[in-house]
Amino acid sequence: MTAFLNANQIKEQVSLVDMLTRLGHAPTHRSGKELFYKSMLREENTASFCVNEQLGVWYDHGGENRSGIKGGNVIDLGLAYWHPASFREVLEKISTLCNVDSLAPALDETLRNKRPRLAVADAIPVAPSYKINTTKELGTHPAISRYLQSRGIWELAQGKLKEVYYTVESNGRSKSYFSAGWQNEAGSWELRNKIGDKEFKACLGKKAISFIPGDPQHLVIFEGYMDYLSWIKDNPEATDSVLVLNSINLLNAGIAKARDFSHIGVYFDHDPAGTAGLEKLKQELPHAVDKSAVYEGYNDYNAKLMAEPVKRMPWEEDRVYENNVNLSAITAI
C-alpha cells in the first residue's frame, strides 16, 4: 500500500475526535459546532485546542508547540503530536492506533521493487472498488479456520460468521481475497483475518454497528465481534440482546440503539479509548454497568479467552502411552 493510499484512507476513515479519544484525550466543553480540549501538544490550564468534527479540522489557539504546526487535518495532528516522526511513520502510527481499514494489503515487495517510479500526480490512486464473489459456511478454507482457532472462537463462531470471498480493484489492478466476516446493520461485511503476523480488519461497504435481538430489556455491548463470541463461551445460556459497535467511533449510534433497554452491561477494552467510551456512554445512560472486571488484567474479553490453556481430552495428552505404562507398573507393585 502506498503512502498516498494510506493518507487518503486515513483522511476518509479517521475522525479527529476518535483519534484523540484513543490517545486518551476528552473535550472539556462544546461551543457551537466546535469541541475544545486542553492542548495535548503543550502545557496549558485553559482549553484552547479546537476541533470542528464536521469539517474534520483542528486549530490550537494557544502558544507554540515543538512542531510549529498549529492546525490542519488528522494527519497534521499526527505530525504535531509525534514530532519529529516522518510522514510515513505518522501514517503507520495513526493506522495502528485507529485500526484503519485496508481493503487491499500492501503489494508484494518484489512487485513494488519492479514497479516503475510514477510522477506524484500519477501516483495518487483512485478509491478502491470491491465485489463480493460469494459467501460460504465456515470450514471451507483452512486458513480462515486456523485463524478462528487461534482466537479461541472456532466453535463459538459456527452459524455466526461466514467465509467471505471478494475482489478488490484499485488503480486498474484486481485481486481476490478471503476473510471471516459478519454483516452490520447497513448490510455491509465486517472482515477479520490474519495476514502474516498482522491482524487484518476491514469493512466492505458502509461502517455500522451490528445488533442481535434478544431480551427486550437486557442488552450487552461490545466493541468487537470477537469479544462478543468470547462472552458466549462464559454465558452459553444468556438471552440478552447484543450490540457490537464494530468501532468505538460508532459509539453514538450504539448509544441511540441502547436507549430502549433498562439493563445494560458494557464490555469495552481496557485502554484509553475504551475507558473514554465507557465514560461517555455512562453520561448518556447512567444505568449502564461496566462488566469488564471479568477480564481484568487483559485488554479485552478475547485476549482473556486466548490466554486460557486449551483443554485436552485424556487421549490427546503428551506421552499418554508412557504415562499409562508407568501407572500400570505402579499398580502392579
Q: Which three cell numbers stand for residue 96?
A: 495502528
State residue 17's pLDDT score: 87
Low-confidence ranges of the chain (pLDDT < 50): 1-5, 102-128, 313-316, 319-333
Instruction: Report the predicted TM-score, pTM, of the whole model to 2 decimal places.
Output: 0.60
Measured CA to CA, the distance from residue 109 to residue 304 in angstroms comes to 35
Q: Which three cell numbers stand for residue 333?
A: 507393585
Q: H or E segment at 143?
A: helix 142-150
Residues ≥6 apart with Cβ < 8 Å to 131: 166, 167, 169
Cα 118 from chain centre:
33
Q: What percent of the chain has pLDDT over 90?
A: 43
State residue 195's pLDDT score: 78
State residue 170's pLDDT score: 62
Number of Cβ within a 10 Å radius of residue 266: 23
State residue 120's pLDDT score: 29
**Domains in the chain and their CATH numbers?**
3-98 (3.90.580.10), 129-204 (no CATH), 210-307 (3.40.1360.10)
Q: What is the pLDDT of residues 271-280, one digit of tens each?
A: 888 898 999 9
Measured CA to CA, the distance from residue 265 to residue 245 in angstroms comes to 14
User: 157: closest CA among 185, 131, 187, 182?
Assistant: 182
